[in-house]
Chains A and B, each alone.
Chain A
Amino acid sequence: GAGVSQTPSNKVTEKGKYVELRCDPISGHTALYWYRQSLGQGPEFLIYFQGTGAADDSGLPNDRFFAVRPEGSVSTLKIQRTERGDSAVYLCASSWSLGNTIYFGEGSWLTVV
């Protein structure tokens, strides 16, 4: 596709459930990023990949959060035992390589009830 694609665009889940959020980066982009944005705040870094490996996962809030990018393209952010505080917009982004322009997707709105 032309831009970064994220699915689902909206997800409502019950507290304690498992959630997967998918990101399809711009074709050819080697770097992929996950950010989380709460209402009224700027995006908060979670993790980024260079190729298949997680280059920096220092932003993941705890061990309930995990992300993979097995083939160096599509990435999945996985959240176990969701909590109400996990409710936010999860933004994915990609760039040709590190230091190049970073393009963001539309985000996945997660609501935990």
Chain B
Amino acid sequence: SQELEQSPQSLIVQEGKNLTINCTSSKTLYGLYWYKQKYGEGLIFLMMLQKGGEEKSHEKITAKLDEKKQQSSLHITASQPSHAGIYLCGAVPTDSWGKLQFGAGTQVVVTP
């Protein structure tokens, strides 16, 4: 079965510092989504990656999918309090695009 590991489980970063979250699959993926969630709220779409080696950026957030399409990273530059929350990767392990498998999430805390 598909295994999706997300690391770290949580991290505390000082405002202005960079951070990276990783998402690793045991199998080649068809695609990968990154979402952000605040406690008690729904998931906010960040990026979707489909091609090996693909990289996308939006404001201070960059996501990459490796060539093998088994690992993705999410990098935040110069973190701000607004970046605090839970980041989730959702993998598309087969050609069944409706059946995302999510990691457990990474909780990000940004300190002053």
Give the B-binding residues of A (Cβ under 8 A): 4, 31, 33, 35, 40-45, 48, 50, 55-56, 58-59, 91, 93, 98-99, 101-107, 109
What are 12 A-B pairs at a CB distance below 8 A?
Answer: A31-B98, A33-B100, A41-B104, A42-B90, A42-B102, A42-B104, A43-B43, A45-B100, A50-B98, A55-B98, A91-B42, A99-B97
Contacting residue for A42 out of B42, B44, B105, CB 8 A:
B105
Residues in A neighbouring B105, C-beta threshold 8 A: 40-42
Q: How many residues of chain B are within 8 Å of chain A by beta carbon?
A: 23
Give the A-binding residues of B (Cβ under 8 A): 6, 31, 33, 35, 40-45, 48, 88, 90, 96-105
Residues in A neighbouring B33, C-beta threshold 8 A: 101-102
**Cβ-defined contact, B45 with A101, below 8 A:** yes
Residues in B neighbouring A50, C-beta threshold 8 A: 98
A89 to B44, CA, bound (A): 15
Residues in A neighbouring B40, C-beta threshold 8 A: 109
A50 to B98, CA, bound (A): 9
A103 to B102, CA, bound (A): 15
**Cβ-defined contact, B104 with A59, below 8 A:** no
**Cβ-defined contact, A107 with B103, below 8 A:** no
Q: Identify the closest chain B residue to A32 (Cβ).
A: B98
**Cβ-defined contact, B48 with A59, below 8 A:** no
